[in-house]
Copies of this chain bind each other. A is one copy, B any other.
Amino acid sequence: MPRLVMKFGGTSVADLERIHNVAHKVQHEVDTGYQVVVVVSAMSGKTNELVGWVGEAAAGPDANAPGFYDAREYDAVVASGEQVTSGLLAIVLQEMGVQARSWLGWQVPVKTTSAHGAARILDIPSENLDAKFDEGMQVAVVAGFQGLSEEGRITTLGRGGSDTTAVAFAAALDAERCDIYTDVDGIYTTDPRITQKARKLHKIAYEEMLELASLGAKVLQTRSVELAMRYKVRLQVLSSFSDEPGTLVCDEEEIMEQNAVAGVAYVRDEAKMTLISVADRPGIAAAIFGPLAEAGVNVDMIIQNISEEGRTDMTFSCPVEQVPLARKAVEEAKAQGEINYHALESDTEVAKVSIVGIGMRSHAGIAQKMFKALSDDGINIKVITTSEIKVSVLVDRKYMELAVQSLHDAFELDKAS
């Protein structure tokens, strides 16, 4: 029988009514003929409650104390949230006549590293689940976000862990698809709040999704998309509150025809910093960006101008809130004589707008078309970077919405390919 993995986040299982709703969706897939693995998160709010208790426990009687805690105990406490949901959903499914049972991380087992709170999945042996499916189990309700270390302790996977659990199960069980149910109904050509012309995509390639995720489309965690790409797991994003099909994230070969550009992404609060007249020498980039990395600054774009008379300008972008951090790091490097420049300028009123599409590889003139569209609308481009499937520009923040609309129109993203 074909297998399907379904994943439901905290808001989808927030109370018993919603858990019943989830159960109906699962039952539908069973009726369609799938053996189903359902990965569930904790009921929304529960994880925060548990994390809060851990904080109180760690703080000791003095609530202002720094609050040390053992990550292994944190994991034992926090993993209980998913345990509860998996048992409850199994009961609801059984009540509907579906052969279901709950599986905790240690029961499967989901083998992970021992990096508690941020463990990585090493292996999911499928023997136990296979045996139960052979005995007639129709649905395995898996507690997401958790696993078992080699030492026999409960681990949790950290941010986005339940999505990652779902993709890993889909890979391990050779599932036909991994459906990620969330509170949006799919991936759009751009943010529908910026233009009503935004259109839901039927399909999108892994690489495009990765670029869109890192550019601010927060539907899927980067980590789970990377895992899906590596194991060629077909990933569908869809809403738990409707019956509409969602967006399939898949290998580009499965996308027969498509627009050169899949979507327009943006990051609103960017800053541009420029070191004016840097003494140019081999290793200068490392001398600048080493201290920035050490200070924890998330440098995004980097542009070095052509050198003239041994001096150059070096520009980079980072999130607005990191500008003071970046300034401190650069000025300290100068004070220590590691770098030399005339002035450090910062522009905190910029935004990043990007077009993403694997079709760019085979379509010439995409960047040119982008620049012209922006120019036609009177938008000045301050910085440009390109990759194989992406072109990003910095523009004044006040033009950001206009730029997104302009590019969405120019590439006719409102029309399906």
User: Which A residues are closer than 8 A to B by beta carbons?
Assistant: 16, 19-20, 50, 53-54, 56-61, 68-70, 72-74, 76-77, 79-81, 83-84, 86-92, 94-96, 101-102, 104, 106-107, 152-154
Contacts and interface: CB of A to CB of B under 8 A. Distances in A.
A226 to B, nearest CB: 31
Contact of A73 (B60, B94, B106, B153): B94
Nearest to A60: B95
A57 B19 contact: yes
4 closest A-B pairs by beta carbon, nearest first, are A77-B87, A80-B80, A76-B87, A57-B91
Contacts of A86: 76
25 contacts: A16-B57, A20-B60, A50-B84, A54-B91, A57-B91, A57-B92, A57-B95, A58-B92, A59-B95, A60-B95, A60-B96, A68-B94, A69-B95, A70-B101, A73-B101, A73-B102, A76-B83, A76-B87, A77-B83, A77-B88, A77-B91, A80-B80, A104-B154, A106-B106, A107-B153
Main secondary structure of the interface of A (DSSP, over half): helix
Nearest to A89: B57
A77 B102 CA distance: 10
Nearest to A83: B80
B107 A152 contact: yes
Interface centre among A89, A94, A95, A152 (most CB of B within 10 A): A95
A58 to B, nearest CB: 5
A14 to B, nearest CB: 12
B73 A90 contact: yes
Given A19-B57, A53-B84, A76-B102, 4 more contacts: A57-B92, A58-B95, A68-B94, A76-B86
A69 B92 CA distance: 8
A16 B53 contact: yes
A381 to B, nearest CB: 52
